[in-house]
Amino acid sequence: MLDLTLTEIAEALQGELVITDAAADAGYSPATVVNGTVDTDSRLIGEGDVFVAKRGEFDDGHRFVGAAVESGAALVVVEHAFADAEREAGRQLPVAQIVVDDSVIALGHFATDVVSRVRASGNLKIVGITGSNGKTTTKNLLRAVLERVGETVAPRDSFNNEVGAPLTMLKLTPTTRFLVAEMGASGKGEITRLIRMAKPDVGVVLTVGLAHAGEFGGIETTLATKTEMVIDLDESDVAVLNRDDARVAGMAGKTRARVLWFGLGDDSEVRATEIEASASGTTFILHLPDGQSRPVRFAVLGEHHVMNALAAASAAHVLGVAIDDIVGALETVTRAERWRMEVMGGGDRPTVINDAYNASPDSMAAALKTLAQIAAPGQRTVAVLGEMSELGPYSVEEHDRIGRMVVRLNIGKLFVVGEGARAIHLAAEHEGSWGGEAVFAADADEAYALIAAELRPDDLVLVKSSNSARLRFLGDRIAEATT
């Protein structure tokens, strides 16, 4: 974070600075400078950090203010003060407090202020990334590229909402050259809110699909929400759009920014040719708009991740990164993210592709195609599939489609886990009239017992589900199993 006085922080948060007698005794004053990391998780607070007490669906961060102070917090942001009157009860805090009406809204105000201060230096460039699939992978790839040429701030994990995005923005320093902001949403207006905290110079839209369609209320609402990424861009900005996704391509008419197309077709300015996928990754030729091209040995598993690599390459090209730096960085990334097409096991154990952090109909289909595509001749393929959440009225239809796809791809064995995914099992049995090739388990423990009894050392296993199904831990168990 920047070096800011308590008064400056209170003004940014639009809150009231409270310095109790205990805090004053500890040396705090309005001019005290704070520059620690900002977080809403008290377990991550260290010496000099800022703890934001946020009310959540299941808990209240105000319960952990004391723990944050004990861990070294220099400032707490709260919705009610721990005042002098509480001193005898041992609750008065020996650190500064800023009292706000709503911690999440205040966090957004704080991020907006910090981004504005760093932008004033003239060196900061911001890339915003959104899409139904691929945001985190693209963010990680772009971070790897940009870190080669300058100080880069990007989210950890999938920090892309009204809390995670501001926390990332608050990591900016006066010397940061690039901010990569992953911008997710669960409803209309949320991406607009994030963009107004940190308006991108480059706005990237990857896909518009059925991920979270139930939460959004339908594909048209999803499209409108993702379009928010490009609507507020200026003429001097660049919209990086997926030419191969018709819904994304239609956004070109909604923005004032210059459009840079990426995709697999000849009509894309940044494109890939000669794509070859294998169990060790994917090779392709990267082509840039200036006529330059280079071969890429891309270790991230799955041909579908080539599109994410193209999106990252497009944004990096706009920012002036040389093609050799782009390719060099892409080739250093070995996995999309923990539990995202992560290859585990092998040797005398089955090889497991653990991709159970997120799942949508598009990403589920892509992962299954990869499983079928990279299997060695004679190698048995096994799919362990759980629920794709947040599909609303599309849920049964889309799970049914996946079950039929498993059969059509000739996957050797199917384990379906959890009642929410039962339609996959029913569809596979109906499509293939299998004799035991499709198995249903009520939960992960039952599934593990069934799977472990049947595993062969040379099996190739895909574990795929939404995060809420928690099959990522089942994937870890399968990879560690001995036969």
Binding region for ATP: 131-137
Burial class (CB in 10 A: 0-12, 13-18, 19+), 441: buried
Do 84 and 110 touch, CB atoms closer than 8 A? no
Q: Which helix (H) or strand (E) holds 6?
A: helix 6-13
φ, ψ for residue 120, nearest 5 deg: -60, -20
**C-alpha distance from residue 180 to each of 98, 135, 258, 312 (Å):** 28, 11, 19, 11
Do 375 and 460 touch, CB atoms closer than 8 A? yes
User: 388: which residues sit within 8 A by CB, 6+ positions away?
Assistant: 359, 360, 361, 364, 395, 398, 399, 402, 421, 465, 466
Distance of CA 34 to the CA centre of its chain: 29
φ, ψ for residue 294, nearest 5 deg: -150, 145
Binding residues are: 131-137
Alpha carbon distance, N-terminus to C-terminus of the chain: 50
With DSSP H G I counted as helix, E B as strand and the rest as coil, what are the percentages for the chain, rounded to 5? 40, 20, 40
Q: Which among 247, 480, 195, 198 is positioned nearest to 362, based on CA atoms? A: 247
Residue-wise burial string across 453-463, b where 16 or more C-beta atoms lie within 10 A, e elsewhere = eebeeebbbbb
User: 409: which residues sit within 8 A by CB, 6+ positions away?
Assistant: 368, 369, 371, 372
**C-alpha distance from residue 189 to each of 63, 79, 224, 273 (Å):** 31, 25, 9, 37
Do 286 and 313 touch, CB atoms closer than 8 A? yes
Question: Strands, DSSP E only, in 87-208?
Answer: 96-99, 125-130, 152-153, 178-182, 202-205
Question: What is the DSSP code (8-state) at residue 89?
Answer: G
Going by DSSP bridges, is the β-strand pair 38-39/50-52 parallel, antiparallel, or unpaired?
A: parallel
